[in-house]
Amino acid sequence: MVNDYMIFPYVKNKLIYDNGASLKNKGVDFQRERLKCHLQKYYRRNQNCEGYVLQIDFSKFFDNIRHK
């Protein structure tokens, strides 16, 4: 609750537009469209499909953070 009303409004404006992590109206469809947009932009700029995509899954990332 504190996060929704106090922290999030402050942090929200500092996030990049493409960040869809747990944000309202930015689910799977939003992320899919953003990926499509970036791939099309890459193709227009380079006139080819040669390139790389890096996919990373930080599994149990927060489990590894030191907690007090």
- Residue closest to 25 by CA, chosen among 10, 12, 44: 12
CB 31 within 8 A of CB 25: no
- The answer to whether 26 touches 20, Cβ cutoff 8 Å, is yes
Confidence (pLDDT) at 64: 73
Model-level pTM?
0.68
Q: Is the pLDDT of residue 58 over 90?
A: no
8 Å CB contact between 30 and 20: yes
